[in-house]
Amino acid sequence: MRYFLHIAYDGHNYKGWQFQPNVKSVQGTIEKKLQLIFKRHVAVNGCGRTDAGVHSSQYFFHIELDIKLDFDLKFRLNKHLPSDILIHEVIPVTNKQHARYDAKSRTYDYFIHLNPDPVLTNYSSFYPLEELNFEAMKTAAALLPLHENYRAMCKQPDKHNHTLCIISFAKLYVNQEQTRLRLNISANRFLRGMIRLIIDFLLQVGKGEITIKEFEQILTDQSNDHLIKPALPNGLYLSKIEYPFLNTGPKPNFTDFLKVGLEDN
* 3-class SS of residue 106: strand
163: phi then psi, degrees, rounded to nearest 5: -120, 30
Annotated active-site residue in 51, 102, 109, 200: 51
The torsion of the CA quartet 153, 158, 162, 164, rounded to 10 degrees, works out to: 0
Q: Where are the beta strands (DSSP E) in the chain?
A: 2-9, 45-46, 55-64, 85-93, 105-113, 125-126, 167-174, 180-187, 236-242
Q: CB-based burial of residue 214 (10 Å sphere; 0-12 exposed, 13-18 middle, 19+ buried)?
A: middle
Q: Is 51 noted as a catalytic residue in this protein?
A: yes
8-state DSSP, 164: B
8-state DSSP, 161: S
Neighbours of 91 (CB within 10 A): 18
Alpha-carbon span 131 to 148, nearest angstrom: 31
Catalytic positions, written as ranges: 51
